[in-house]
Structure 1
Amino acid sequence: MARTAKHLLDELARPGPHQVLRGDLALVGLPGAVYTPHSGRGLPAVAFGHGWLQPPSRYRGLFRHLASWGVVVAAPGTHTGPFGSHRLLASDLSTALDVCVGVRLGDGEISVDEGRLGLAGHSTGGGSAVLAAARDQRVRAVATLAAAETAPVASNAARECRMPSLHVLAGNDLVAPPSAHGHLIAQAWGGQADVRTITKASHLGFTEGRHWSGLLVHGKAEHATQRISRALLTAFFLTHLTGQTEYARLLDENIKGTVLDRHLVQTG
């Protein structure tokens, strides 16, 4: 019997079967962290862009979660200040993918397949992921969380993106209101764009723990938001980077607490 979306959500919201290792990107000259399964050959890899003022450590639960399901995650820790460059963070995301492909990870027991690369990000880091995807032809899938516009403009860059994308929006986002940010990026996307709104999520609901930036940025860490978004990103990247189609149903059906928009496909 086929599993329902609820069953798939419950499954993918729990840690996967792999033990997780953490490494330091600074060892290869790029501040940040990398999370990997304990071992594996030809693995998929995702570079993740942090939100405005957010250190990568605020997403470590998400990184560990994806790694437990077999996805290598590299998160640059650059441009975390108030005047960080979106364009340069996008460049660092591509560099992080270079590291995943070209550097021995773990104890030499981990390798990444250059044909299985993705990008993701939160807030302006999501916008930077779009900027990177527009010029990095290796990227096969892109996911954003409460994406915010950037300079250069992410919704303009989205027109150059032909790979599938997933845009998870926050219904209670006062920083990057979905209609003015995430939806614009999705509507401009050059290929298929799936849009899902977590109705009660705030802009910082995807982050973990406490941070001084909470005095400036609306929202706070939210367990329900993290649980849903972790499951959705896991399903998305397993589907589009590894071909595990048994999880695609979670992306196509209603989930309690969310609103699923129709698939958006740019035809112009």
Structure 2
Amino acid sequence: MTRTSTFTRPEPTRGAKDAVAQLSRPGPNTVLRGDLGLVGVPGVVFAPAEGLGLPAIAFGHDWLQPATRYTELLRHLASWGFVVAAPSSHRGALASHARFSADLRTALDTCAGVRLGDGHISVDSRRMAFAGHGIGGGAALLAAATHPRAAAVVTLAPSQTKPSAVEAARAISVPTLHVVAGQDTVAPPGGHAEPIMQAAGGPVTMRTLPKAGHTAFLEGMHWSDLLLATNKDGRSRRLATALMTAFLLHHLCDEDRVDVLVDGKVPGTELLVHTP
């Protein structure tokens, strides 16, 4: 992939601790927010104020959660040069995972198909990824399995879905990162993230955060906190943000300055790499 002049690079780092510190902070770009509903899918879009040939991500929310519970993460990714679309559809207790994955595909294709920000922002269709938390992570796998231009996938505490996220993983050959919560009682890794990883059709990295719970990646408050036993965990959220940012910079933009966060030893995480 060829870099563009608007690609955002991190500063050279002196190791994992320095890389986490840098990539857990916002990047240098001014961020714009837009309404995804203009293309028929409720949700939000965050993007740098300008830039051509940018990478793009479609992000899926967890069960019952509004996209606003990920605002800080979405804005962070945009500040590092990514266009990020987050549908807020299918939030009901019995929501369709298949239809949600279709909305993720629509959101990503929309970002690639139109100029954003009064024509000052465009997306390179070779630099697109799916990501999500919990059920949204499973939906991201469903979306990537049938999207010919997906270049990477990232999940946070991924959950099984129907259709099966495990079966979807078999069809995905692009690099995938699973950030797993070691204290997850909603989607325990042994029944969710681990089978998904083992079924992978392509290279997979699994980073376990031993002290994190399933809801560690959520922001703010919501009535569903009463059901999910939400635990606030700023440290795990910052670490996951840095890992996700580094992985996407590496695989969508050929960035090598933060590779220690992609395949190196990172304090506070347990690394497992799986290559089929």
Task: Please state which band the TM-score falls in when normalised by the shorter chain.
Answer: over 0.9
Question: Aligned residue for 1:248?
Answer: 259
For residue 136 of structure 1, report the CA deviation from its aligned partner.
0.4
Question: Aligned residue for 2:269?
Answer: 258
CA RMSD of aligned residues (A): 1.1
CA 67–2 in structure 1, closer or farther in 2 if over 3 Å, else same: closer
For residue 253 of structure 1, report the CA deviation from its aligned partner.
2.0
Matched, 1:40 2:84: no
Question: Aligned residue for 1:150?
Answer: 161
2:192 to 175, 181, 191: 181
Cα distance between partner residues in 2 of 1:159 and 1:174: 25
Q: Percent identity?
A: 52
Cα distance between partner residues in 1 of 2:230 and 2:203: 29
Cα distance between partner residues in 2 of 1:214 and 1:45: 30
**Aligned AA (1:57):** T
For residue 219 of structure 1, report the CA deviation from its aligned partner.
2.6
Question: Aligned residue for 1:239?
Answer: 250
Cα distance between partner residues in 1 of 2:40 and 2:164: 28
- Structure 1 segments unaligned to the other structure (5+ residues): none
Q: How does 1:195-234 map to 2 (within 5 A)?
A: 195-234=206-245
Matched, 1:100 2:111: yes
Cα distance between partner residues in 1 of 2:50 and 2:80: 12
Report if aligned partners of 1:202, 1:218 keep a CA contact under 8 Å in 2.
no
SS of equivalent to 2:26:
coil
Question: Aligned residue for 2:150?
Answer: 139
Q: Deviations over 1:17-40 (max 9, x none)?
A: 101000000112110000000100
**Aligned AA (1:239):** H
Cα distance between partner residues in 2 of 1:257 and 1:264: 20
SS of equivalent to 2:129:
strand
Report if aligned partners of 1:187, 1:265 keep a CA contact under 8 Å in 2.
no
Question: Aligned residue for 1:23?
Answer: 34
Cα distance between partner residues in 2 of 1:134 and 1:212: 32
Question: Aligned residue for 2:85?
Answer: 74
SS of equivalent to 1:136:
coil
1:3 to 4, 11, 14: 14
SS of equivalent to 1:78:
coil
Matched, 1:161 2:172: yes
Report if aligned partners of 1:17, 1:69 keep a CA contact under 8 Å in 2.
yes
Question: Aligned residue for 2:95?
Answer: 84
State TM-score, norm by structure 1.
0.97
For residue 2 of structure 1, report the CA deviation from its aligned partner.
6.1
Cα distance between partner residues in 1 of 2:231 and 2:70: 13
Cα distance between partner residues in 1 of 2:185 and 2:145: 27
For residue 124 of structure 1, report the CA deviation from its aligned partner.
0.6
SS of equivalent to 1:90:
helix
For residue 68 of structure 1, report the CA deviation from its aligned partner.
0.3
The number of residue pairs the alignment matches comes to 265
Report if aligned partners of 1:48, 1:76 keep a CA contact under 8 Å in 2.
yes
Report if aligned partners of 1:23, 1:35 keep a CA contact under 8 Å in 2.
yes
Matched, 1:60 2:48: no
Report if aligned partners of 2:90, 2:96 keep a CA contact under 8 Å in 1.
yes
Q: Deviations over 1:71-112 (max 9, x none)?
A: 110000100110111110100000001110112211211000
**Aligned AA (2:32):** L
Report if aligned partners of 2:16, 2:267 keep a CA contact under 8 Å in 1.
no
SS of equivalent to 1:212:
coil
Cα distance between partner residues in 1 of 2:69 and 2:87: 13
Report if aligned partners of 2:260, 2:266 keep a CA contact under 8 Å in 1.
no
